[in-house]
Amino acid sequence: MTTIRTILLLLFASSFLMGCEKCANVSFSEPTLAETEWLVYGNLQKAVADQQRDLKDTILFLDEETKDTIRYFRTGIYAQSLPGDGYSIEDQCIEQLNTQMTNIIEDESKRNPLLATSILSKPDSLLIRIGVDKTGSWAIDPNGVTLPQMLINGKEYYDVYELTGTGTKPTDVKKLYFNKEYGFLEVHFVNDKKKLSLLEIL
């Protein structure tokens, strides 16, 4: 299981790509607008077009332990090219480039872990991952919906993915719930008293 920091390191790997201009044909795989919906937070089309990284969408969570409302902001959006299958950043000629895009949201108070959604566009597939800070990241199978619906803080959510963590520290993720439209719905920690549940996206 990779961490968000590993994902971000991969994002910057394309800075070292070289020699692509020498290739006869270079193919780029880019996600469609529909595929970028998996990133959930914010107007991605505008953010990419304007090359902005400071669009701060607001996501409100309930801390079930303290009953406080936790305010998250979207603090980063990253889009980078990565070598396609069979290539590495050390190759002088890379004929296939895939596109990885990642959204980061962070607690305003910095007391809770950052959350991330990420997609990697390949010629014949789209890889989707979500992550919780240093705890790890999980792959999402678009066809692998776990729960048809789920009630959270009085609101029904549909087509929910249930994912399980393997960590044992109190701050590790025990279980989380996610859907394509609203993103992170609930994050349960090994410390059973600690849980974040979605209230609203503003």
Q: Residue-wise pLDDT tens for the chain (202 aa)?
A: 444 444 444 444 444 444 455 566 777 788 888 899 999 997 555 445 555 554 448 999 999 999 999 999 998 888 888 787 777 777 667 767 889 999 999 999 999 999 999 999 999 899 999 999 988 899 999 999 999 999 999 999 999 999 999 999 999 999 999 999 999 999 999 988 899 999 999 8
Contacts (Cβ under 8 Å, ≥6 apart) of 110: none
What phi, psi does 9 have (nearest 5°)? Answer: -65, -40
Give domain status of residue 189, yes or no: yes
Give domain status of residue 87, yes or no: yes
What phi, psi does 146 have (nearest 5°)? Answer: -90, -45
Look up tokens 């090219």; give the residue: 81
Q: How many CB atoms lie within 10 A of CB 150?
A: 17
Please tell me the distance from the alpha carbon of residue 53 to that of residue 147, in angstroms, as a whole number.
Answer: 33
96-107 vs 27-29, strand pairing mode? parallel
Please tell me the distance from the alpha carbon of residue 111 to that of residue 109, in angstroms, as a whole number.
Answer: 5
Q: Is the pTM of this model over 0.85?
A: no
Give domain status of residue 151, yes or no: yes
- Domain residues for 65? 4-16+26-201
139: tokens are 């792959």
Q: What angle do CA 86, 89, 94 make, to 5 degrees?
A: 55
What's the total number of domains in the chain?
Answer: 1
